[in-house]
Amino acid sequence: MNTAYWKTLALVLLAAAPAAAQQVALPEGSFRWSASRPLTMADFKGRPRPTESHAALTSANINTGAKCSSNIFAGTAQASFSPSRSWVRDPARMTPALLRHEQLHFDIAEVYARQLRQQLAAISLPCSKLGTTFDRVSQAAYAAWQQAEDAYDRESNHGLQHEQQAKWEAQVRQQLLALAAFAEAEA
């Protein structure tokens, strides 16, 4: 029920392709968040370590990228899911409620990817003056995302507190709607 945080903070400066068409290379086997493609039980292909006590784990990430074209900065962020790092301890006990809890971890990653896309779009510095701005903004977004993930598991007791789980589901749905202008086009 916990989310593994693995980061890809690769600053990739590319010289071609318009920012709107920019895609981040995802880790092998991962797929990006999509409103039309919710997680399924079959997506959880990893194996828990013997020391893991949770019923399931969603390995989500926010992958970042940047480019400079004619000294103009453009950055992007994509939420992704790693099936090989995500697992369910006992597939026979993967209830719809547990799957919803895990899906919300992925949805929270998308909320923070959209917020980061919004922040990156607001950077109006020429690349020559960018300095550490991209790294600083990205690191702050990762920290906020991790705090939200921790709060979600703590407040919902890993999905076992149904009232809190429902509150988080409504809150994340609202955040996704509020940030719809920063959603990526469906692939």
Which position has the higher pLDDT, 133 or 14? 133
- C-alpha Rg value of the chain to the nearest Å: 17
Amino acid at 129: K
Amino acid at 113: A
Which residue in 14, 166, 29 sits closest to 75, CA to CA? 14
User: Band of the pLDDT at 12, cuts 50, 70, 90?
Assistant: very low
Contact 90, 56 (CB under 8 A): no
Please state, in angstroms and rounded to a whole number, the distance separating the CA atoms of residues 156 and 57. Answer: 15
User: pTM score > 0.85 for this model?
Assistant: yes
Tens digits of per-residue pLDDT, 115-155? Answer: 999 999 999 888 888 889 999 999 999 999 999 999 999 99
Tens digits of per-residue pLDDT, 30-83? Answer: 999 999 999 999 999 999 998 988 999 999 999 999 888 888 899 999 999 999
Which position has the higher pLDDT, 137 or 12? 137
* Secondary structure of the chain as H, E, C letters: CEEEECCEECCCCCCCCCHHHCCCCCCCCCEECCCCCCCCHHHCCCCCCCCCCCCEEEEEEEEEEEEEECCEEEEEEEEEECHHHCEECCHHHCCHHHHHHHHHHHHHHHHHHHHHHHHHHCCCCEHHHCCCHHHHHHHHHHHHHHHHHHHHHHHHCCCCCHHHHHHHHHHHHHHHHHCHHHCCCCC
Tens digits of per-residue pLDDT, 171-180? Answer: 999 999 999 9
User: Band of the pLDDT at 25, cuts 50, 70, 90?
Assistant: confident
Which residue in 155, 122, 143 sits closest to 1, CA to CA? 155
Q: Give percent of the chain with pLDDT exceeding 90.
A: 69
**Where do the domains of the chain lie?**
2-181
